[in-house]
């Protein structure tokens, strides 16, 4: 699903001196623990390829916090393909603690100023900090209005990241004596509506890792001897060498505080609520090797394949003769579901599409340019597809641009005689206001064919199939998602497939989006109208 993109990913690592032997190699000692951060960011690069950055802490250098960030991939920003330059950078960034970030976004796309972490310098060490976050504050416009209301404040960037920076800064400025970061989180996030997981690093050597009260965005951590590490996905910790049984998910509404004096502490900063984990993490966003909130991403996707197979048997529409019928996944995130579906149906699963990983990003292009690049993204294998009845498995269809082009190429270049699209997800009929790149209804293809009542009629699915150029198309129903992930349905955010949002501002934004539907308003207008809709001036 190359048309949909997540906002970002977060990583953090800390070496607590004098607390035992390190379980993994850290180079020349505690001061070199920061060298592991780029490796962690590479493992969550799937969450954002637009920009990357990191901040390190070293009490023995004049610049207590040092930040490097830029537009580009992790390898580009940290010069990982140039040994001498990478080594020079790692020496300049040496530290006993580090936080890092990878980014994809819909605003300020090629502006280095939007790259994270954001650092706030101050003459007082207790007020000097750097932070990064994954998510989106759906009430950004309200927070912005309130911050600027007195005329004494100024925002240089159009992003909720800067709002958080100033909110933290305001709390620290009012504090006297040592900072209580649990209290800072409690006070600042009480006014947040939306999704966030974040990491903070201070000039006093404190690290804070927190997750929103609904647990919409994932955050995993491990604490072993003198080492603490955290990341948006468990795979980044597993590949450092930590035992998978040691890796845990940070409970929603909790924060971890690390410092040399008190070591590791886990505390609640927000009232307990029923979690609303983003179901798309398991279906698409997360690395297939990750485990989030005790549920394996890979196993969830295989169960989606079982759901597809069950629906295919019930449908009894496609001839499942293994001699001329094959299952083909759209690379890469659909592969686990496609393999599982094919196994259940006793027909071959073949890689009939080869993804060109160097074709460039199609999501930042518009109109004809996007279609042209989508055509170069996948190469159909005629030797596999010719004269075959193809069951094409996709994890979702968002805007339909890629699917249109893909079906044409499978038929014209691949020579398939039939193409039956099977989608391992319900139709996306509503925008996301919690950190996914889809904020207006007009961006989505499904609302033209389906409604929020969850009805998947044969007629509506066939109309979409005809318009896309497929012989047939079938989505999974909403109730299959919770079964596949293995979570209670009320523990998942499924707003984009139901129109039922877990927060007040999210629901209000959806009503605004419905009113804007078809009016050609750009994606920012939904957020800009929130303050007025909720009576904030």
The residues annotated with a catalytic role in the active site are 8
- Taking the C-alpha atoms of residue 352 and residue 51, their distance in angstroms, rounded to an integer, is 32
β-strand partners of 15: 227
The token duo for 502 is 């877990």
Q: Which two tokens stand for residue 386?
A: 């010719």
Q: Which residue has 């007020």 as its token pair?
A: 127
Whether residue 318 contacts residue 473, with contact meaning beta carbons closer than 8 Å, is answered with: no
- List CB contacts of 358: < 8 A, sequence separation 6 or more: none
Q: Which residue has the tokens 């019930």?
A: 314
Q: What is the DSSP letter of 17?
A: T
- CB–CB of 52/74 below 8 Å? yes
User: What distance in Å separates the CA atoms of residue 171 and residue 175, rounded to the nearest whole number?
Assistant: 6
User: What is the DSSP track for 192-230?
Assistant: --EEEEEEEEETTS-EEEEE-TT--S--EEEEETTEEEE
Query: Which sign, positive or negative, has the C-alpha torsion 391, 392, 398, 401?
Result: negative
Segments in 239-390 forming alpha helices (H): 280, 297-315, 335-345, 367-377, 382-385
Measured from the Cβ of residue 371, the count of other Cβ atoms closer than 10 Å reads 16
Give me the count of residues in the chain.
Answer: 537
The token pair that represents 293 in the structure block: 């909130």
- List alpha helices for 83-224, DSSP H: 83-92, 140-148, 160-174, 181-189
Helix boundaries (H) for 378-457: 382-385, 401-412
Phi, psi (degrees; rounded to nearest 5) at 109: -55, -45
312 torsion bin: left (phi>0), alpha (psi -120 to 50), beta (else): alpha
**310 CB-side CA count, 13 A:** 12
Query: Could you tell me if 128 and 175 are in contact, meaning their C-beta atoms sit under 8 angstroms apart?
Result: no
Asked if residues 78 and 86 have their Cβ atoms less than 8 Å apart, the reply is yes
Locate tokens 């969450």: which residue?
Answer: 47
CB 210 within 8 A of CB 185: yes
Residues ≥6 apart with Cβ < 8 Å to 61: none
Residue 76 φ/ψ, nearest 5 degrees = -70, -45
- Residue 446: C-alpha distances to residues 174, 398, 424, 449 (Å): 49, 7, 14, 5
């Amino acid at each position: 699903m190359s048309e949909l993109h997540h906002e970002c990913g977060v990583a953090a690592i800390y070496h607590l001196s004098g607390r035992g032997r390190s379980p993994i190699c850290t180079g020349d000692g505690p001061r070199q623990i920061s060298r592991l951060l780029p490796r962690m960011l590479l493992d969550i690069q799937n969450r954002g390829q637009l920009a990357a950055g990191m901040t390190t802490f070293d009490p023995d250098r004049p610049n207590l916090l040092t930040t490097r960030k830029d537009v580009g991939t992790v390898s580009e920003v940290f010069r990982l393909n140039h040994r001498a330059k990478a080594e020079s950078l790692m020496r300049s960034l040496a530290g006993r603690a580090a936080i890092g970030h990878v980014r994809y976004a819909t605003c300020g796309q090629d502006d280095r100023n939007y790259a994270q972490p954001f650092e706030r310098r101050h003459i007082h060490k207790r007020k000097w900090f750097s932070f990064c976050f994954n998510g989106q504050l759906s009430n950004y416009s309200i927070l912005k209005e309130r911050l600027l209301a007195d005329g004494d404040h100024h925002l240089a960037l159009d992003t909720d990241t800067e709002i958080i920076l100033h909110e933290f800064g305001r709390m620290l400025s009012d504090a006297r004596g040592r900072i209580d970061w649990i209290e800072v989180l409690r006070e600042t996030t009480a006014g947040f509506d939306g999704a966030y997981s974040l990491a903070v690093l201070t000039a006093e050597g404190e690290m804070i890792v927190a997750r929103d009260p609904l647990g919409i965005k994932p955050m995993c951590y491990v604490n072993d001897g003198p080492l603490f590490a955290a990341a948006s996905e468990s795979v980044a910790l597993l590949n450092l060498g930590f035992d998978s049984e040691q890796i845990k998910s940070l409970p929603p509404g909790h924060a971890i505080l690390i410092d040399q004096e008190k070591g590791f502490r886990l505390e609640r900063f927000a009232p307990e609520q029923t979690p609303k984990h983003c179901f798309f993490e398991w279906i698409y966003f997360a690395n297939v090797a990750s485990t989030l909130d005790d549920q394996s991403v890979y196993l969830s996707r295989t169960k989606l394949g079982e759901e597809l197979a069950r629906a295919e048997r019930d449908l009894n529409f496609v001839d499942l003769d293994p001699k001329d019928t094959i299952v083909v996944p759209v690379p890469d995130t659909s592969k686990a579901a496609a393999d599982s579906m094919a196994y259940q149906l006793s027909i071959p699963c073949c890689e009939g599409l080869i993804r060109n990983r160097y074709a460039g990003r199609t999501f930042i292009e518009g109109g004809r340019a996007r279609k042209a690049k989508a055509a170069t993204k996948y190469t159909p294998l005629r030797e596999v597809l010719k004269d075959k009845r193809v069951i094409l498995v996709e994890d979702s269809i968002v805007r339909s641009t890629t699917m249109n082009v893909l079906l044409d190429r499978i038929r014209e270049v691949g020579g398939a005689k039939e193409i039956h699209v099977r989608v391992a997800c319900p139709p996306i009929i509503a925008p996301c206001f919690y950190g996914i790149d889809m904020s207006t209804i007009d961006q989505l293809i499904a609302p033209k064919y389906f409604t929020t009542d969850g009805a998947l009629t044969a007629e509506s699915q066939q109309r979409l199939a005809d318009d896309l150029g497929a012989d047939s198309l079938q989505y999974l129903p909403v109730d299959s998602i919770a079964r596949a992930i293995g979570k209670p349905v009320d523990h998942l955010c499924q707003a984009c497939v139901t129109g039922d949002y877990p927060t007040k501002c999210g629901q209000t934004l959806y009503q605004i989006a419905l009113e804007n539907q078809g009016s050609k308003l750009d994606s920012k207008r939904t957020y800009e109208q929130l303050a007025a809709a909720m009576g904030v001036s």
